[in-house]
Structure 1
């Protein structure tokens, strides 16, 4: 029997500029991707309800709910990769977008070729880890007495109190918690949490791990939860269970 053709990735574009929607849709389809383009948040939610998508290209400046608000709401129930677009070049907007859960950020004006490269990079890194446990939308990940709430994006201590955690720290802990007892390299962690290639001198993952250990009251000299595997990376050594909220 003939081998069925592979399903091409389906990209949802949300931008209120009709010309951009048309241009991007045509370019992505010319390069082997399927695309659906809508103009605002309401149409985005309808599209997500009606179909399955592999990545969301989301403009920051939209009528009604803006891109940051939509991204935050989406992250309460979905890990769909998000590439944020903006006409603003302010680094603050980029940081806020990443804190809200965007996987990457691209400032307008941009070339369709660059957008395609970013899309492929996001899809590649979100699929770069071997499958392990996957948190269903709305679940809590429990380990070592701690709970990571994937709806509120909060870390809950064993005594039930919420522990402050940044967006970057949440992403890092979420990656570790959905791949428990598996060693993840610094390159993998940097790529998955911050959306960029690793620099040999980049120690930001080490800094974030150090901060997470402080949040988790994990002794840095002899950590019980996030352990260092010399020459390889980090591992969440505790077993993880998923529970309904």
Structure 2
């Protein structure tokens, strides 16, 4: 899960990035409001953690600008501003969650997973597509009740495909969700991970739409897709 972290405090930002990475998140970190606004508008992230006291442009102004542009990326406000009017203003301007510093890193991770899955129509950490199940909190996968061992990148790729079940995802879209800044992506990386997933799962579960991309399906199974 690729997220954007907007935090100007270097020690706090480094700690947040390290803690979220340990939970399996891919974290891109910016240190001012203008950079946050620019990166969110690119559409490469599944959620954003937004501090309010950012230089160049205040976090509330960033949030208001994004919502005016109809950018619906889930945004979790993480701030030291704990007054009730500040919380009300942040939520009214379009924040999906509002957390006061300091925050437990595991709680922050859980809140981010919740925001992302709700944005895709899910209500639980357990995603289901036919006989395939993925537990986002435990980062485990089962097929017909049997555990499947995946690498970190294979798990992340399967997660993206399950969130977008029966929707075709291009290689470029998948790369944007799988790799944060600083990673050199080999031209066939997605294809290699798809190949490994097909060997570990049902061969026809991930289908290729020639010239377009890949889609996750569960033939004749109505459970494939968002589950309430």
Task: Name the TM-score, length of structure 2 as normaliser.
Answer: 0.50
Structure 1 gaps of 5+ residues are: 1-8, 131-245
Root mean square deviation, CA, Å: 1.8
- Secondary structure of residue in 1 paired with 2:115: helix
State the match for 2:99 in structure 1: 106
Q: Is the 8 A contact 2:77 2:90 kept in 1?
A: yes
- Per-residue Cα deviation, 1:61-107 (whole angstroms, up to 9, x for no partner): 11122111100001122001100011021111111001000000000
Separation in 1, partners of 2:67, 2:9: 24
Separation in 2, partners of 1:32, 1:79: 23
- Secondary structure of residue in 2 paired with 1:52: coil
State the match for 1:13 in structure 2: 5
Distance 1:45 1:68, change over 3 A: closer
Q: Is the 8 A contact 2:37 2:62 kept in 1?
A: no
* Residue 85 of structure 2 corresponds to residue 92 of structure 1: yes
The count of aligned residue pairs is 122
Separation in 2, partners of 1:28, 1:109: 15
State the match for 1:57 in structure 2: 49
Superposed, 1:47-196 pairs within 5 Å as 47-48=39-40, 52-77=44-69, 78-128=71-121
Shift of 1:51: 5.9
Separation in 1, partners of 2:40, 2:81: 26
Separation in 1, partners of 2:83, 2:6: 21
**Which of 17, 20, 43 is residue 25 of structure 1 equivalent to?**
17
State the match for 1:42 in structure 2: 34
Task: Name the TM-score, length of structure 1 as normaliser.
Answer: 0.47
Shift of 1:124: 1.8
Q: With CA pairs under 8 Å and 6+ residues apart, which has the higher RCO, 1 or 2?
A: 2
Q: Is the 8 A contact 2:37 2:66 kept in 1?
A: no
- Secondary structure of residue in 2 paired with 1:11: strand
- Per-residue Cα deviation, 1:3-37 (whole angstroms, up to 9, x for no partner): xxxxxx11100011011111111111111110100
Separation in 2, partners of 1:64, 1:36: 19
Separation in 1, partners of 2:26, 2:4: 9
State the match for 1:154 in structure 2: none
State the match for 2:138 in structure 1: none
